[in-house]
Each structure stands twice: as C-alpha cells, then as structure tokens.
A and B are shown apart, each in its own frame.
Chain A
Amino acid sequence: MNASVRGKHSLRRLKLPPNPKVRVGIAIFVFFALLALLGPFVVQNVMGLSPSDVDTTQAMELPSAEHLLGTTATGEDVFAQLVVGSRISLLVGFVAGVITTTLSVLVGVAGGYLGGRADSFLTAATNVCLVIPGMPLLIIVASYVQGRGGWLTVALVIGLTAWPWGARQKRAQTLSLRHRDFVSAAEMTGESRWGVITRELIPSLAPIISVSFLGAVVGSMFADAGLSFMGLGNINITSWGSMLYWAQNGAALTRGAWWWFVPPGACIALIGVAAGLINFGIDEISNPRLRKPSKEVRARARAARLHAAAGGSAAKATAGKSAPVQEAAS
C-alpha cells in the first residue's frame, strides 16, 4: 500500500506543468534533444546523406526534394550539416552550462552562507575572475588551443570563464536567505552546513539557479557559435557555429544564399526562445503558491460556491467567487 502511495506521489511530481508557454518551451527543447541524439544516425545511416561530402556539380542549390535545405558553395548538404551539427552545439552548450552553473552555485551559495574567511576568499576569487573580460579571454584561450581537444575543450573554456556573474548573483540571494528563520530552524534540527546548503538554500534558490542554467546553456551556445564563426573553434567539426563560419566565408549573405545561414541561426534563436518560455514555469515550481489548484479541488470549490449561491445570498456567492483559491486551500 505504501509503495503505491509513493508511486502516486512521484508521478504527481513528474506531471507536465499546465502552463502552455512552458509546454511549448519544453517541446522545443525535447525536439532539439531528440534531434541531437537520433538525428545524425537517421540522416547519415537511414537517409544516406553526408554533412561533409563535397560535390561541386551541385553547389549553391536551392532547397529541393533531394537537398531539403539546399547545398553550400562546395555542394555539401545543409540539412545534413544542420542535423549533425546540432549534436556538437547542444553538447557544448549543455556541458558548459553545467560547468558554469555548478561553479557559480558552489562558490556563491557556499560563500554567502558560510560567511567569514571562506566568504572573503571566495568573493575575492570571484571578483578577480569578474574583472578579466570574458570574451577576449575566451578568444585568446581558444586561439591558443586552436581546436585541439575538440568540443570538450571549447565547453571547458566557456564554462570556466562564464561563472563569476552567476556566483555574485547567487551569493547576494543567499545572503538574504541566510538569516531567515527556516534556515536557523534547519540548523537547529541538527542539519550540517552542507545539509543546509543542499536541502534548504539550493531548493529555495531553484528558480534563480534554473534560470541561470538555461541562460548559461544558451549563452554557451552563442559563445561556441561566436568562436566558430570567428574561426577560433575547430572549424572542421560540423556545428552550427562552423556552418555560420563557412557561410560567411562563402559570402552566403551577399550571394543571397539564405538557406545556408538562416537554418543554423534560427535554430540557435529557437533554443533561446525555449529557455525563455521554460523560465515562466520555474517560478511555479519554486513558489507553490503560484500553482493552480488541481481540477478536483477546483471542482469542489465551484460546488461550494454554487451551494452558497443556491442558499440565496448573492453576497455570499460573490465572496466565494473572489476567493476560490483560499477556499480550496482551507
């Protein structure tokens, strides 16, 4: 019996958020995740396309049934490049986002909560990293690395240079939580410092953390595309960034070859949109007050309201209408 109760409990947690914006955002993300996971296999092994096969007889062709998104100046299939490149772009974005967020949460929350010498040290480290301008540093490191180590190096470089802003933000938020009673109460139930950080502070900071995670993923994808576009990534790996680099190199814009540069650009923009949409829903998770009561509860509240109205008093009915949520909660 217990197991079934628990099963129901965890199922309820996994339920899709009702907010339509969030659903659209999640759908876009899932679409791209599936594209990155399965797309390259489907395109290369099932459809028999190659992202790198040069065929100068079919250069700069408009989208057609044979080449869904046309071809590049050297006759490569843009559709195949787009699908195969999604894997690298998403991977770089995801890994760099995880590195950035993890570092910023650890440094920011630990510093803000522990205070004292640990905080001084971590704040000093954050400030030092903060005053180093990010993009130039990225460019210098990337041009030194010159694409060695593949996408992982790029992700590491982005992740290790992008965390200080997030750390400052999380430290400030932690400072405001640190002396709330529920944190003291957790300390006084005997929770260790690490326990307070992971069980009380981080869940309370979840909206900020997930917003900044999504931001970091998108930002890292932008940075990766930017580096590749400047030719500082590994331009021989197919990614959305390197597609843009080659498109620019081939003067796609001046030659009107929109099918070459619009798809990778649009994909990057779409992921940014999805991140923005999901952020709307995260507030609801961390602030249960914003959640709508379940259908069952709403139905009960409506029944109670109707009952009150049937009782004859119009005033009662309007009072019920103005506070359905409170009614449901009590």
Chain B
Amino acid sequence: MGGHLNVNHLIFLGHGALWTVGLSVIALVGGGIVGFAIALARISPLKSVRLASAAYVQLVQGTPLLVILFLGYFGLAAIGLQVSPLVAASASLTLYVAAYLGEIWRGSIQSVPKPQWEAAEGLALSRTQRMLKVILPQAIRIATPPTVGFMVQIIKNTSLASVVGFAELMRSGQIVNNSLFEPFVIYAIIAVVYFAMCYPLSLFSQRLERRMGRGRVNLAPA
C-alpha cells in the first residue's frame, strides 16, 4: 500500500478543487456568452435563425455531456486538431452550458408580459431599444434564480472532465487514490468538497427565488 493520507495529498486535492472552480467559471462565462446569443437567436424575427438555434439546443440537450467531452477531445484529435484537456473540457462545457442557459434565458425573456413589448413599440422604440431598455432589465430579474441554480449543475458536471485527463477535483481524487488505495475516505472527502461548493449556491438560489415573489416585477399586470 502507498502509505497514509498526508497534507501533500490534501494540497493536491486542493489544487484539483481550484481547477474545478476555474473550469466552472470558464464554462459559465463561455456558456453565458454563447447562451445569450442562443437566447436571442431563439426569439429572432428570422425563421431560419430560430430553427438553427432550436436545432442546436435539441442536439446538445439530447447528447450526454460525457459524449460531448469525448467528441471534443478524441474527435478533434482524429481530424488532426490536437487540443489539451483544458481546451477540450472548456470548449465542450461551453457548448453544453450554452444550450441550457440559452433556454433558461429565452424563457425568461418570453415571460416578460407581451403588453410590455407593445407599450415599448407604441413609444416608437426600435427593437434593440425595446430589448435593452425594457425587456432585458425585467428578464434578468426573472432569470437570476434559475441561473444561479444551474451553476450548481455546472460545478457538478465539471467532474466529467476527469475522463479526458483534466486534473480537476475528481481526477485529482482518482490520482491520489491510485497511490493510497483508500477509495472510501478519498471519495468521501471529494463529495464533501463538492457539497461545500454547491450548497451555498443552492441556498442563494432559493433565497433569490423567495425574494422574487415580492419583487418589483409585476408578472401579471391588471
């Protein structure tokens, strides 16, 4: 056996945890930018844009993240694009997160009551002005609780990046376990660390949702 769990192992796991956070941030930012574009495309006045973005969302939502990660890492290599585990994991998670955030945000935009659009239209605002000054500020309030909730999913899903050899928390745990062979202790530690990252976000999301209930947004004008 490879000895006992010591502080060096814990530091190694700590690095992995930092990469989990880093990968989550990359996925959130990348997925957020692409997802915002997807949300706008889903409600575009152009039918072709709506169809293309809907097809993208269906395709990604109908594919396991694990498969997307393999495709990103091994697939790109097969066509001659050698990418690092970090790039492969970032790109795959971005595409994955974008499809979900795009749908959450499309729903939020569309749940701003239609008369708000009409009132803005009646005031001669352009489509862009209506979106930026009237609809999005209201949609953001609606979108915040589910978006924070989805961040929990992102954090947990980064663990799948371990399969392409990216040393985030899960992969770090596997590496430590390979030398110590104490799976229960090590994976219990890892579970606690994931929980410690996700639970505050879950609580925050719930609190936001409760606050929404008595917020300024009036979802059903008289």
- Physical interaction between A and B: no
Interface residues of B (CB under 8 A from A): none
